[in-house]
Structure 1
Amino acid sequence: MSRSRILVVGAGFAGVECVRRLERRLSPAEAEVSLVTPFSYQLYLPLLPQVAAGVLTPQSVAVSLRRSHKHRTRIIPGGAVGVDPKARVCVIRKITGEVVDEPYDVLVLAPGSITRTFDIPGLVTHARGMKTLAEAAYLRDHVIAQLDLADASQDEEERASRLRFVVVGGGYAGTETAACLQRLTRNAASRYPRLDPRQIKWHLVDLAPKLMPELGDALGRAALGILRRRGIEVSLGVSVAEVSAEKVTLTDGRVLPSRTLIWTAGVAASPLVGTLGTETLAGRLVVRPDMTVPGADGVFALGDSAAVPDLAKGDGAICPPTAQHAMRQGRAVADNVIATLRGGPTRPYVHKDLGLVVDLGGTDAVSKPLGIELRGLPAQAVARGYHWSALRTNVAKTRVLTNWLLNAVAGDDFVRTGFQAQQPATLRDFEYTDAYLTPEQVRAHTAALRARE
């Protein structure tokens, strides 16, 4: 009997957990497991703000797949750009640009998400994201460069625009990004003899009426208080109307001279989901409770790109795109894939959210583990303890712990590397949103493949 071909797309929390479980529970004789990812690491996304702030090095949050997986899994260096469920073929663009076709018996789609944008003039051209390792590294360089240029400038208007930073998005990512980078610029200001720390302005903007509503009113207000005490201006019920190279116009009419707009206003499912031609909900693939895709035999979908029913909440709710759900969905899908191969029944995914942790840098944090509200050092201990324990390899844990200790003792040198100084660094450049095929292109591609055979 031939081995089943299992193809997993995406090396985020969902995909990695799925592959790890498949490796442990399937024998080599039962299946061949392949993983499609452009990078040979799992990005620990919740710690990206600390990379941008220089607390952690980029390598610390890039967890090696070759350390965390057995040698059985074949890693295909590229990105999936289309799926033909009828032909059971996944179209992959390798990192060389070569397009190849990968047949499968079982396909697990965990391609994750991209930064969600809106039709705001200048947004895609001038905004910077915080979704990839390259974006975090670029953003650190960019912020320090603004301090360097402002310190050297003789023009007060230029100096004001370079020292004003705007973060859009009052959720987990935006709040941590604003808090960590504001702390970076505050600490760096003492190294610049011509800069007054009071000239450095940080703004956090969100259309929602509350900051981080998922934390609850009390902790949300606590986080808001921490940011405002640090001097971060928080504007709620407001969004961006227009962006240019040197200013940000808000929907309440304010015009902020600024050369830095960091956009963290939510995520959208990977464009890959649109290539299947199956039903979507708010841009995410509609799946059954066992995470199979209706109308696509042998296909499972999970994580940020799938509208997985949240049976713990009920009332038609779908699971939020969090690492916590993605990890548990990865394990659940692996069990269902194994059950399918062995002729057993699949099981629905059920998980109750265990809470959130928010690290605001230094000793500032708010956390809500298991419904218990924490602030300050206890919250910080829980937040960092959770992140540290979630890292998959001992090497990654050692690097992160060492970086935390070194930063706490020695601080930062505020060095910009300049590696990406000549890159446009727009959202489209870093997240490759133009790389995907349309369903018609996928079908034409696989039809041509069959014709050649």
Structure 2
Amino acid sequence: MGTDVNQQSKHILIVGGGYVGMYTALRLQRRLARQLRDGSVRITIIDPQSYMTYQPFLPEAAAGNLSPRHVVAPLRRVLPKVRILNGKVTKVNHGAKSVTFEPNEGSAREIGYDIIVMAAGSVSRTLPIPGLTDIGIGFKSVGEAIGLRNRVLHQLDVAESTDDEEVRRKALTFVVVGAGFAGVEALAELEDMAKDSTRYYRNITPADLRWVLVEATDRVLPEVGPEMGKWTLEQLRERGIDVRLNTRLESCVGGHVKLSDGEEFEAETLVWTAGVKASPVVSATDLPVDERGKLKTTTRLTIAGVEDAFAAGDIAGVPDVTNPGQYCAPNAQHAVRQAKVLADNIVRKLNGQELAVYRHKYAGSVAGLGLHEGVANVYGIKLRGFPAWFMHRTYHLSRVPTFNRKVRVVVDWTLALFFKRETISLGEIHRPRESFRAAYAATQKRG
């Protein structure tokens, strides 16, 4: 394996192309424009995907309110001065200032760097629950969001096309585990879409759909505070959603769901949103890790105890200077702001200047609960219903990267005012070769 390094320039390597990775590179691209032109600085991003996903819009993409292409930002277009490598980092040897890069296709190789930014984010935190992989699906990527949309609509098709009451009931039962932002927003949007879709089916009514929200704690949406969380719970139950608090999923083998409260039933779809954990790359580094399994990070977004290493976002344990003794929450609000300070601190380091402290007081939270419904708690101002939904859309529109994507999102929303949303299941896109293989097998049989 060769070492990809140029001794004539400073190489900044960013591991991860999500919020922190992309926004850090975007700011460095602007602030180091001259150095990038003359070759004295190089920037590389390593990520399995060639795009950044704006995750707050995944529920709307799943519900068909937004095109999936409009909730992602293509890294190569946004970052023309940055080298994008698609694959994953399997090892970080900061002592030697090199990483082992495993491309999506081809052999692994070593890549050297001068400064590293650990921004690999998080993955779903799963538990050893029997059968979880039988029917479970996560909700962190655009692929999962669209796959889930197709799955829900496909189950409506199954229920419409069968005379078997047991098959029908199983197809029309949907379970969401985890009542944080991801779980509640995904459930609310998908339930709204499924209910709206029943108008096109002769033998399915909204009352035939069963949605179950399973939460191990005693509240939903803790991010918006007790009062707004209680209101959200009431709204979900008014919509006929079966919310089970203080309840855990114990098993779902073959779609037979068992809950800790003794309830058992059949379901064909289960969405797992019960928390996240730092990317597994953390355990493949020689960098310090804190008690929560995150990279030990200082208030200046440097990795504690080492030189030339920075971290931010879900992978980093960043102390919250506005709330002593606590860490910054792993959300987009902090990630985008941390990326700005992180990029500026890299520039300061290159110029031999003192690094700045990351300081941001959490502004609050907004959540969408389906079309024209939402809940918000921002700077102590509590909103619900349409005003909160409008604030949710306005806030996240302002945070979507690039003017191009903002316009496309607004166009999608505008068209949705005049045209009904699409309710077509394109499940075959997940198995594009199935029809070809079937045709080939039939030909061989005839031959």
Q: What is the TM-score normalised by the length of structure 2?
A: 0.91
Alignment of 1:343 onto 2:352: yes
- Where in structure 1 are there 5+ consecutive unaligned residues? 424-453
* 3-state SS in 2 of match to 1:138: helix
- Which residue of 15, 20, 24 maps to 1:18? 24
CA distance in 2 between partners of 1:419 and 1:76 (Å):
29
Percent identity between matched residues is 37
Which whole-Å CA distance do the structure 2 matches of 1:204 and 1:97 have between them?
42
Deviations along 1:205-258, one digit per CA (max 9) or x if unpaired, are 111111112211211112112211211111111110001222211111111211
What is the deviation of 1:124?
Answer: 3.4
Contact kept, 8 Å, 2:178 with 2:272, in 1: the verdict is yes
The alignment partner of 2:43 has SS state of strand
Does structure 1 residue 7 correspond to structure 2 residue 50?
A: no
Cα displacement (A) at 1:360: 1.0
Contact kept, 8 Å, 1:248 with 1:261, in 2: the verdict is no
The corresponding residue for 1:428 is none
Question: 1:41 is aligned with what amino acid?
Answer: Y
CA distance in 2, matches of 1:231, 1:402: 32
1:37 counterpart = 2:47: yes
Show CA shifts across 1:315-367 (max 9, x none).
x2111110010011111111111122221111221110111110112111011
Distance 1:230 1:134 in 2: 28
Q: Which amino acid aligns with 1:293?
A: I
Q: Please, which of 400, 413, 423 is the counterpart of residue 422 of structure 2? A: 413
- Retained in 1: the 8 A contact 2:372–2:390? no
Report the secondary structure of 1:77's partner residue: strand
Q: What is aligned with 1:111?
A: 120
Distance 2:181 2:155 in 1: 25
Other-structure match for 1:317:
326
Residues 46-93 of structure 1: CA deviation (Å, up to 9, x unaligned): 110111111111101011223322x22111122222211111111112
Instruction: State the SS of the aligned residue for 2:235.
Output: helix
Matched position secondary structure for 2:254: coil
Comparing 233-242 and 272-281, the one that deviates more: 272-281
Where in structure 2 are the equivalents of 1:42-441 lying within 5 Å? Answer: 42-69=52-79, 71-277=80-286, 278-314=288-324, 316-422=325-431
- Paired with 2:270 and 2:49, the residues of 1 have a C-alpha distance of 27
Shift of 1:371: 1.9
- Is the contact between residue 328 and residue 334 of structure 2 (CA under 8 Å) also seen in structure 1? yes
**Structure 1 residues 58, 195: closer, same or farther in 2, change over 3 A?**
same
**d(CA) in 1 for partners of 2:345 and 2:148?**
40
Q: Give the whole-Å Cα distance in 2 for the aligned partners of 1:222 and 1:170.
A: 14
How far 1:392 moved relative to its partner? Answer: 1.3
Q: Is 2:282–2:289's contact at 8 Å kept on the other side of the alignment?
A: no
Distance 2:99 2:420 in 1: 47
Residue 197 (structure 1) shift: 2.2
Q: Is the 8 A contact 2:154 2:427 kept in 1?
A: no
- Deviating more after overlay: 197-206 vs 59-68: 59-68
Give the secondary-structure state (helix, strand or coil) at the position aligned to 1:401. helix
Who is 1:446 aligned against?
A: none
Alignment gaps of 5+ in structure 2? 1-6, 433-447
Q: Which stretch shifts more, 172-181 or 402-411?
A: 402-411
Q: Structure 1 counterpart of 2:327, which letter?
A: I
Letter in 1 for 2:18: G
Name the SS of the counterpart of 1:281 in structure 2.
Answer: coil
Distance in 2 (alpha carbons) for counterparts of 1:123 and 1:283? 23
Aligned alpha-carbon RMSD (Å) = 1.5
Separation in 2 of the partners of 1:173 and 1:413? 23
Counterpart contact for 1:85–1:297, Cα < 8 Å: no
* Separation in 1, partners of 2:121, 2:201: 40
Aligned to 1:426: none
Greater relative contact order, per chain length (Cα 8 Å cut-off, separation 6+): 1
Q: Conserved in 2, the CA contact under 8 Å of 1:138 and 1:420?
A: no
Change over 3 Å in CA distance of 1:180–1:254 after alignment to 2: same
Asked if 2 retains the 8 angstrom alpha-carbon contact of 1:269 and 1:305, the reply is yes
